[in-house]
Structure 1
């Protein structure tokens, strides 16, 4: 996680230096309880869904599905938690039929 933090800091610095836009993370109070200060990313991660997958209300396969994210859907991750041996990422859908929805996606179905 430390290497990720250094990479994120370098990315933000480079974007600021070259005039790029930097996404602002939501306030910690806006994130679910599973997102602690130790599991929240220093900057949001722009990712892509690698296969059709459920967007979940809570981390875990037993949680309500908020919709299906199609392969190629864009997702911005804000934190990571582990539930039942699976890593789950919380974030916002930024493209596709579920654009604008917030929820949990199994980490194995996301790539940077």
Structure 2
């Protein structure tokens, strides 16, 4: 068996690599922002601190996003998410992540298809 055009395909894929990496970064950023925005809409509000301080933190290459609270003073976000013996759970971060997990693949596929057109 002989595959014709394999070298051209390799070259074309190498040309597309920077664009695909940028598309991946855009997708991760869009998903991170979507999770953050969902949490802001659904988090239990007493003072507004958790709503106002939820943030997205990206890895240096922007291919990984972490959403949540980084300030030690916001420790009580865990009690809101999981509850305690006296405080009922009001999960917001977990459901937001699950909802975005379902959308991430579609976001990435749309970015890649845009490049390949």
TM bin, normalised by shorter chain, reads under 0.3
The structure number with the bigger radius of gyration is: 2
Bigger RCO of structures 1 and 2 (CA < 8 A, at least 6 apart) = 2
TM-score by length of 2: 0.22
Larger helix fraction of residues: 2
